[in-house]
Structure 1
Protein backbone atom coordinates (compact mmCIF):
# COMPACT_ATOMS: atom_id res chain seq x y z
CA UNK A 1 0.00 0.00 0.00
CA UNK A 2 1.11 3.56 -0.70
CA UNK A 3 2.27 4.98 2.66
CA UNK A 4 0.67 8.37 2.07
CA UNK A 5 -2.70 6.79 1.28
CA UNK A 6 -2.64 5.12 4.69
CA UNK A 7 -1.12 7.96 6.70
CA UNK A 8 -3.14 10.82 5.22
CA UNK A 9 -6.52 10.46 6.92
CA UNK A 10 -9.34 12.94 6.30
CA UNK A 11 -8.22 15.03 9.28
CA UNK A 12 -4.63 15.03 7.99
CA UNK A 13 -5.74 16.07 4.51
CA UNK A 14 -7.86 18.88 5.97
CA UNK A 15 -4.86 20.16 7.91
CA UNK A 16 -2.64 19.97 4.82
CA UNK A 17 -5.24 21.96 2.91
CA UNK A 18 -5.46 24.55 5.67
CA UNK A 19 -1.68 24.97 5.93
CA UNK A 20 -0.94 24.93 2.20
CA UNK A 21 0.85 21.62 1.66
CA UNK A 22 -2.05 19.58 0.29
CA UNK A 23 -1.27 20.11 -3.39
CA UNK A 24 2.25 18.72 -3.19
CA UNK A 25 1.31 15.84 -0.89
CA UNK A 26 -1.65 14.84 -3.04
CA UNK A 27 0.88 13.71 -5.64
CA UNK A 28 2.37 11.28 -3.13
CA UNK A 29 -0.96 9.51 -2.77
CA UNK A 30 -1.10 8.95 -6.51
CA UNK A 31 2.53 7.94 -6.84
CA UNK A 32 3.24 4.37 -7.90
CA UNK A 33 4.86 2.19 -5.27
CA UNK A 34 6.64 -1.14 -4.96
CA UNK A 35 4.55 -3.90 -3.39
CA UNK A 36 6.80 -5.08 -0.58
CA UNK A 37 10.24 -4.18 0.68
CA UNK A 38 13.06 -3.79 -1.82
CA UNK A 39 16.73 -4.68 -1.32
CA UNK A 40 17.27 -1.09 -0.19
CA UNK A 41 14.85 -1.47 2.73
CA UNK A 42 15.78 -5.04 3.66
CA UNK A 43 19.48 -4.17 3.73
CA UNK A 44 18.83 -1.14 5.92
CA UNK A 45 16.62 -3.12 8.32
CA UNK A 46 19.13 -5.96 8.58
CA UNK A 47 21.85 -3.52 9.66
CA UNK A 48 19.88 -2.06 12.57
CA UNK A 49 20.62 -2.70 16.23
CA UNK A 50 17.54 -0.85 17.52
CA UNK A 51 14.16 0.53 16.52
CA UNK A 52 11.13 2.27 18.00
CA UNK A 53 7.67 0.72 18.07
CA UNK A 54 4.38 2.50 18.73
CA UNK A 55 1.25 0.64 19.86
CA UNK A 56 -2.20 1.82 20.95
CA UNK A 57 -3.60 0.90 24.36
CA UNK A 58 -7.20 0.32 25.40
CA UNK A 59 -7.03 3.77 27.02
CA UNK A 60 -6.61 5.31 23.57
CA UNK A 61 -3.08 6.51 24.29
CA UNK A 62 -0.10 5.54 22.13
CA UNK A 63 2.86 3.85 23.78
CA UNK A 64 6.33 4.01 22.25
CA UNK A 65 8.96 1.46 23.13
CA UNK A 66 12.61 1.21 22.20
CA UNK A 67 13.75 -2.25 21.10
CA UNK A 68 17.43 -3.11 20.87
CA UNK A 69 19.77 -6.01 20.28
CA UNK A 70 22.81 -7.00 18.26
CA UNK A 71 23.10 -5.73 14.72
CA UNK A 72 20.70 -7.78 12.60
CA UNK A 73 18.35 -8.80 15.42
CA UNK A 74 15.43 -7.64 13.28
CA UNK A 75 15.05 -10.47 10.79
CA UNK A 76 13.62 -9.97 7.31
CA UNK A 77 11.44 -13.06 6.82
CA UNK A 78 10.31 -12.02 3.34
CA UNK A 79 9.55 -8.82 1.43
CA UNK A 80 6.43 -8.18 3.50
CA UNK A 81 7.30 -9.66 6.87
CA UNK A 82 9.75 -8.93 9.68
CA UNK A 83 10.32 -10.78 12.93
CA UNK A 84 12.07 -10.46 16.28
CA UNK A 85 12.50 -12.48 19.44
CA UNK A 86 10.83 -10.70 22.36
CA UNK A 87 13.22 -11.28 25.22
CA UNK A 88 12.68 -10.68 28.91
CA UNK A 89 12.73 -7.05 30.03
CA UNK A 90 11.05 -5.16 32.85
CA UNK A 91 7.93 -7.39 32.79
CA UNK A 92 5.47 -4.51 32.32
CA UNK A 93 4.16 -6.08 29.07
CA UNK A 94 2.58 -2.83 27.86
CA UNK A 95 3.45 -3.42 24.21
CA UNK A 96 2.39 -7.07 24.28
CA UNK A 97 -0.87 -6.20 26.03
CA UNK A 98 -1.64 -3.42 23.57
CA UNK A 99 -1.08 -5.74 20.61
CA UNK A 100 -3.65 -8.22 21.95
CA UNK A 101 -6.40 -5.58 21.59
CA UNK A 102 -5.07 -3.57 18.63
CA UNK A 103 -2.37 -5.09 16.44
CA UNK A 104 -1.72 -1.95 14.37
CA UNK A 105 1.83 -0.76 15.04
CA UNK A 106 4.21 1.86 13.70
CA UNK A 107 7.95 1.21 13.50
CA UNK A 108 10.72 3.78 13.11
CA UNK A 109 14.27 2.71 12.32
CA UNK A 110 17.12 5.21 12.28
CA UNK A 111 20.73 5.11 11.13
CA UNK A 112 22.10 8.07 13.05
CA UNK A 113 25.53 8.39 11.39
CA UNK A 114 23.92 8.85 7.96
CA UNK A 115 20.77 10.55 9.35
CA UNK A 116 18.58 8.04 7.52
CA UNK A 117 15.13 7.10 8.81
CA UNK A 118 12.65 4.45 7.67
CA UNK A 119 9.07 4.40 8.94
CA UNK A 120 6.69 1.46 8.60
CA UNK A 121 3.05 0.64 9.29
CA UNK A 122 2.50 -3.01 10.17
CA UNK A 123 0.23 -5.57 11.78
CA UNK A 124 1.92 -7.24 14.75
CA UNK A 125 1.40 -10.85 15.73
CA UNK A 126 2.52 -12.59 18.92
CA UNK A 127 3.90 -16.11 18.43
CA UNK A 128 4.64 -18.27 21.47
CA UNK A 129 8.01 -20.03 21.50
CA UNK A 130 6.52 -23.52 21.69
CA UNK A 131 4.18 -22.90 18.77
CA UNK A 132 6.76 -22.38 16.02
CA UNK A 133 10.27 -23.80 16.59
CA UNK A 134 11.12 -23.27 12.93
CA UNK A 135 10.40 -19.55 13.22
CA UNK A 136 12.51 -19.34 16.36
CA UNK A 137 15.40 -20.93 14.50
CA UNK A 138 15.18 -18.16 11.90
CA UNK A 139 15.03 -15.42 14.54
CA UNK A 140 17.64 -16.82 16.94
CA UNK A 141 20.51 -14.53 17.92
CA UNK A 142 23.62 -16.68 18.00
CA UNK A 143 26.24 -15.45 20.42
CA UNK A 144 23.95 -12.91 22.11
CA UNK A 145 22.91 -13.41 25.74
CA UNK A 146 19.16 -13.08 26.29
CA UNK A 147 16.13 -14.82 27.80
CA UNK A 148 13.44 -15.35 25.14
CA UNK A 149 9.78 -15.02 26.13
CA UNK A 150 7.96 -14.98 22.81
CA UNK A 151 8.31 -13.90 19.19
CA UNK A 152 6.79 -11.01 17.27
CA UNK A 153 6.04 -11.01 13.58
CA UNK A 154 5.28 -7.79 11.69
CA UNK A 155 3.27 -7.92 8.47
CA UNK A 156 4.27 -4.71 6.71
CA UNK A 157 1.38 -2.69 5.28
CA UNK A 158 3.31 0.36 4.09
CA UNK A 159 6.65 2.11 4.47
CA UNK A 160 8.39 5.32 3.53
CA UNK A 161 11.71 7.07 4.01
CA UNK A 162 11.80 10.25 6.09
CA UNK A 163 13.83 13.37 5.43
CA UNK A 164 17.09 13.98 7.31
CA UNK A 165 16.03 17.21 9.01
CA UNK A 166 16.84 17.54 12.70
CA UNK A 167 18.40 14.07 13.06
CA UNK A 168 21.54 14.55 15.14
CA UNK A 169 24.34 12.22 13.98
CA UNK A 170 25.30 9.77 16.74
CA UNK A 171 27.95 7.08 16.72
CA UNK A 172 28.41 3.83 18.62
CA UNK A 173 31.72 2.89 20.27
CA UNK A 174 32.28 0.34 17.49
CA UNK A 175 31.72 2.99 14.79
CA UNK A 176 34.08 5.42 16.52
CA UNK A 177 36.77 2.77 16.92
CA UNK A 178 36.44 1.82 13.26
CA UNK A 179 36.69 5.44 12.14
CA UNK A 180 39.85 6.02 14.18
CA UNK A 181 41.43 2.60 13.59
CA UNK A 182 44.22 3.91 11.35
CA UNK A 183 45.03 6.79 13.73
CA UNK A 184 45.11 4.39 16.69
CA UNK A 185 47.47 2.08 14.81
CA UNK A 186 49.73 5.01 13.95
CA UNK A 187 49.80 6.16 17.59
CA UNK A 188 50.79 2.67 18.73
CA UNK A 189 53.63 2.66 16.20
CA UNK A 190 54.86 6.05 17.44
CA UNK A 191 54.69 4.90 21.06
CA UNK A 192 56.71 1.78 20.20
CA UNK A 193 59.36 3.86 18.43
CA UNK A 194 59.50 6.30 21.35
CA UNK A 195 59.97 3.42 23.78
CA UNK A 196 62.89 2.10 21.73
CA UNK A 197 64.49 5.54 21.71
CA UNK A 198 64.16 5.82 25.49
CA UNK A 199 65.71 2.37 25.95
CA UNK A 200 68.69 3.19 23.72
CA UNK A 201 71.90 3.74 25.71
CA UNK A 202 73.06 7.32 25.94
CA UNK A 203 76.50 7.74 24.36
CA UNK A 204 79.28 9.13 26.60
CA UNK A 205 80.40 12.59 25.66
Structure 2
Protein backbone atom coordinates (compact mmCIF):
# COMPACT_ATOMS: atom_id res chain seq x y z
CA UNK A 1 0.00 0.00 0.00
CA UNK A 2 1.80 3.18 -1.14
CA UNK A 3 2.35 6.23 0.99
CA UNK A 4 0.63 8.80 -1.20
CA UNK A 5 2.35 11.69 0.57
CA UNK A 6 5.72 10.34 -0.56
CA UNK A 7 4.40 9.73 -4.06
CA UNK A 8 3.52 13.43 -4.29
CA UNK A 9 6.54 14.87 -2.49
CA UNK A 10 9.30 12.58 -3.70
CA UNK A 11 9.68 13.60 -7.31
CA UNK A 12 12.52 12.11 -9.41
CA UNK A 13 14.69 15.15 -8.62
CA UNK A 14 14.00 14.77 -4.89
CA UNK A 15 14.80 11.05 -4.99
CA UNK A 16 18.03 11.75 -6.87
CA UNK A 17 19.09 14.20 -4.17
CA UNK A 18 18.13 11.74 -1.42
CA UNK A 19 20.30 9.17 -3.16
CA UNK A 20 23.22 11.60 -3.34
CA UNK A 21 22.83 12.59 0.32
CA UNK A 22 22.39 9.04 1.62
CA UNK A 23 18.75 9.09 2.76
CA UNK A 24 17.07 7.33 -0.20
CA UNK A 25 17.39 3.83 1.27
CA UNK A 26 15.61 4.88 4.48
CA UNK A 27 12.74 6.57 2.64
CA UNK A 28 12.43 3.70 0.17
CA UNK A 29 11.71 1.43 3.14
CA UNK A 30 8.96 3.81 4.31
CA UNK A 31 7.45 3.79 0.83
CA UNK A 32 7.45 -0.03 0.71
CA UNK A 33 5.94 -0.50 4.19
CA UNK A 34 2.32 -1.47 4.82
CA UNK A 35 1.37 1.86 6.39
CA UNK A 36 -1.73 4.00 5.90
CA UNK A 37 -2.08 5.54 2.46
CA UNK A 38 -2.82 8.82 4.26
CA UNK A 39 -5.53 9.93 1.88
CA UNK A 40 -8.24 10.14 4.54
CA UNK A 41 -8.05 12.06 7.79
CA UNK A 42 -8.29 10.02 10.97
CA UNK A 43 -9.56 11.19 14.34
CA UNK A 44 -6.13 12.63 15.35
CA UNK A 45 -5.93 14.74 12.17
CA UNK A 46 -9.56 15.87 12.35
CA UNK A 47 -9.23 16.95 15.98
CA UNK A 48 -5.94 18.70 15.32
CA UNK A 49 -7.25 20.74 12.38
CA UNK A 50 -10.41 21.67 14.28
CA UNK A 51 -8.35 22.84 17.24
CA UNK A 52 -6.19 25.35 15.38
CA UNK A 53 -6.62 29.11 15.22
CA UNK A 54 -4.40 29.54 12.16
CA UNK A 55 -2.54 27.75 9.39
CA UNK A 56 -0.48 28.49 6.29
CA UNK A 57 -1.48 27.61 2.74
CA UNK A 58 0.62 27.69 -0.40
CA UNK A 59 -0.64 27.82 -3.95
CA UNK A 60 1.07 28.21 -7.32
CA UNK A 61 0.46 30.99 -9.82
CA UNK A 62 -0.07 30.58 -13.55
CA UNK A 63 3.50 31.88 -13.98
CA UNK A 64 4.87 29.13 -11.73
CA UNK A 65 5.55 31.21 -8.60
CA UNK A 66 4.58 29.73 -5.21
CA UNK A 67 2.61 31.93 -2.82
CA UNK A 68 2.26 31.40 0.93
CA UNK A 69 -0.82 32.75 2.71
CA UNK A 70 -1.66 32.87 6.41
CA UNK A 71 -5.22 32.07 7.42
CA UNK A 72 -6.49 32.74 10.94
CA UNK A 73 -9.63 33.07 13.00
CA UNK A 74 -11.26 31.85 16.18
CA UNK A 75 -10.17 28.40 17.38
CA UNK A 76 -12.09 25.92 15.23
CA UNK A 77 -12.62 28.24 12.27
CA UNK A 78 -11.33 25.44 10.02
CA UNK A 79 -14.20 22.95 9.82
CA UNK A 80 -13.67 19.25 9.11
CA UNK A 81 -16.52 18.23 6.81
CA UNK A 82 -15.64 14.53 6.50
CA UNK A 83 -12.58 12.28 6.32
CA UNK A 84 -11.51 13.77 3.00
CA UNK A 85 -12.62 17.40 3.18
CA UNK A 86 -12.22 20.43 5.39
CA UNK A 87 -12.85 24.09 4.79
CA UNK A 88 -13.18 27.57 6.23
CA UNK A 89 -14.88 30.90 5.67
CA UNK A 90 -12.79 33.47 3.84
CA UNK A 91 -12.99 36.74 5.76
CA UNK A 92 -12.69 40.24 4.35
CA UNK A 93 -8.99 41.06 3.95
CA UNK A 94 -6.70 43.19 1.81
CA UNK A 95 -8.57 42.12 -1.33
CA UNK A 96 -5.49 41.04 -3.30
CA UNK A 97 -7.11 37.64 -4.06
CA UNK A 98 -3.77 35.99 -4.85
CA UNK A 99 -4.57 32.57 -3.39
CA UNK A 100 -8.10 32.64 -4.84
CA UNK A 101 -6.76 33.62 -8.26
CA UNK A 102 -4.06 30.96 -8.16
CA UNK A 103 -6.57 28.26 -7.26
CA UNK A 104 -8.76 29.26 -10.21
CA UNK A 105 -5.93 28.14 -12.50
CA UNK A 106 -4.35 25.37 -10.42
CA UNK A 107 -6.31 23.82 -7.57
CA UNK A 108 -3.31 22.12 -5.91
CA UNK A 109 -2.42 23.50 -2.49
CA UNK A 110 -0.19 22.60 0.42
CA UNK A 111 -1.20 23.46 3.98
CA UNK A 112 0.83 23.62 7.16
CA UNK A 113 -0.94 23.37 10.52
CA UNK A 114 1.22 23.97 13.58
CA UNK A 115 0.73 24.07 17.34
CA UNK A 116 3.80 25.79 18.76
CA UNK A 117 2.90 25.01 22.37
CA UNK A 118 2.87 21.24 21.82
CA UNK A 119 5.54 21.37 19.09
CA UNK A 120 3.41 19.47 16.60
CA UNK A 121 2.74 20.11 12.93
CA UNK A 122 0.65 18.53 10.20
CA UNK A 123 1.35 18.93 6.48
CA UNK A 124 -1.49 18.44 3.99
CA UNK A 125 -1.54 18.20 0.20
CA UNK A 126 -4.92 18.85 -1.35
CA UNK A 127 -7.14 20.26 -4.07
CA UNK A 128 -8.92 23.49 -3.17
CA UNK A 129 -12.14 24.94 -4.50
CA UNK A 130 -13.87 28.24 -3.82
CA UNK A 131 -17.49 28.13 -2.69
CA UNK A 132 -19.92 31.02 -2.92
CA UNK A 133 -22.02 32.46 -0.14
CA UNK A 134 -25.11 30.70 -1.52
CA UNK A 135 -23.49 27.25 -1.28
CA UNK A 136 -25.16 25.08 1.42
CA UNK A 137 -21.75 24.21 2.93
CA UNK A 138 -21.33 27.86 3.94
CA UNK A 139 -23.73 27.31 6.85
CA UNK A 140 -21.12 24.99 8.39
CA UNK A 141 -18.10 27.06 7.37
CA UNK A 142 -19.46 30.26 8.94
CA UNK A 143 -20.30 28.76 12.34
CA UNK A 144 -18.56 30.84 15.01
CA UNK A 145 -17.67 33.70 12.66
CA UNK A 146 -20.20 36.13 14.13
CA UNK A 147 -19.28 39.74 13.45
CA UNK A 148 -16.69 38.88 10.80
CA UNK A 149 -17.39 39.82 7.20
CA UNK A 150 -17.31 36.68 5.06
CA UNK A 151 -16.57 36.94 1.33
CA UNK A 152 -16.61 33.28 0.31
CA UNK A 153 -15.64 29.83 1.50
CA UNK A 154 -12.78 27.50 0.66
CA UNK A 155 -12.96 23.70 0.73
CA UNK A 156 -9.93 21.43 0.44
CA UNK A 157 -10.13 17.80 -0.65
CA UNK A 158 -7.24 15.93 0.96
CA UNK A 159 -4.77 14.26 -1.40
CA UNK A 160 -2.47 13.16 1.41
CA UNK A 161 -0.94 14.30 4.70
CA UNK A 162 2.05 13.74 6.94
CA UNK A 163 2.82 14.53 10.57
CA UNK A 164 6.14 16.31 10.87
CA UNK A 165 8.71 15.80 13.61
CA UNK A 166 8.91 18.40 16.43
CA UNK A 167 12.60 19.07 15.84
CA UNK A 168 13.49 22.76 15.76
CA UNK A 169 9.96 23.99 16.55
CA UNK A 170 10.30 26.87 18.99
CA UNK A 171 7.66 26.72 21.71
CA UNK A 172 5.32 29.72 21.62
CA UNK A 173 2.09 30.40 23.46
CA UNK A 174 -0.97 32.43 22.57
CA UNK A 175 -2.19 35.28 24.73
CA UNK A 176 -5.07 33.10 25.88
CA UNK A 177 -2.76 30.26 26.89
CA UNK A 178 -0.53 32.64 28.86
CA UNK A 179 -3.54 34.23 30.57
CA UNK A 180 -4.86 30.81 31.54
CA UNK A 181 -1.49 29.78 33.01
CA UNK A 182 -1.24 33.07 34.95
CA UNK A 183 -4.78 32.67 36.27
CA UNK A 184 -3.97 29.18 37.54
CA UNK A 185 -0.79 30.44 39.14
CA UNK A 186 -2.66 33.38 40.71
CA UNK A 187 -5.31 31.05 42.14
CA UNK A 188 -2.61 28.83 43.63
CA UNK A 189 -0.82 31.82 45.19
CA UNK A 190 -4.09 33.05 46.70
CA UNK A 191 -4.74 29.56 48.12
CA UNK A 192 -1.28 29.39 49.70
CA UNK A 193 -1.60 32.93 51.12
CA UNK A 194 -4.94 31.99 52.67
CA UNK A 195 -3.36 28.92 54.26
CA UNK A 196 -0.51 31.01 55.70
CA UNK A 197 -2.95 33.60 57.03
CA UNK A 198 -4.99 30.86 58.73
CA UNK A 199 -1.87 29.59 60.51
CA UNK A 200 -0.80 33.09 61.52
TM-score w.r.t. the length of structure 1 is 0.88
CA-CA distance at 1:143 after TM superposition: 5.6
CA-CA distance at 1:37 after TM superposition: 0.6
**Match of 1:200?**
none
**Match of 2:123?**
119
Instruction: Indicate conservation of the 8 Å contact 2:77/2:145, yes or no.
Output: no
The equivalences for 1:26-45 within 5 A come to 26-31=28-33, 32-34=35-37, 35-45=39-49
The equivalences for 1:61-80 within 5 A come to 61-80=65-84
- Looking at structure 2, the residues matched to 167 and 87 of structure 1 have their Cα atoms a distance apart, in angstroms, of 28
TM-score w.r.t. the length of structure 2 is 0.90
Q: Secondary structure at the match of 2:94?
A: coil
Find 2:24's aligned residue among 17, 22, 25.
Answer: 22
Find 2:96's aligned residue among 92, 106, 112.
Answer: 92
Mapped pair 1:52 → 2:60: no
Structure 1 outlier segments of 4+, above 3 Å: 186-193
- Looking at structure 1, the residues matched to 17 and 23 of structure 2 have their Cα atoms a distance apart, in angstroms, of 9
Q: Secondary structure at the match of 1:25?
A: helix
- 1:57-103 deviations in Å (ceiling 9; x for gaps): 11211000000000000000000001111111000000000000111
- Looking at structure 1, the residues matched to 144 and 8 of structure 2 have their Cα atoms a distance apart, in angstroms, of 37
Mapped pair 1:167 → 2:199: no
- 1:98-142 deviations in Å (ceiling 9; x for gaps): 000111000000010011000000000011112x1x211111133
Structure 1: state its 5+ residue gaps. Answer: 197-205
Instruction: Indicate conservation of the 8 Å contact 1:70/1:144, yes or no.
Output: no
- Looking at structure 1, the residues matched to 145 and 9 of structure 2 have their Cα atoms a distance apart, in angstroms, of 39
The equivalences for 1:78-157 within 5 A come to 78-130=82-134, 132=135, 134-142=136-144, 144-157=146-159
Q: Secondary structure at the match of 2:160?
A: strand
The CA RMSD over aligned residues, in Å, is 2.0
Q: Secondary structure at the match of 2:40?
A: coil
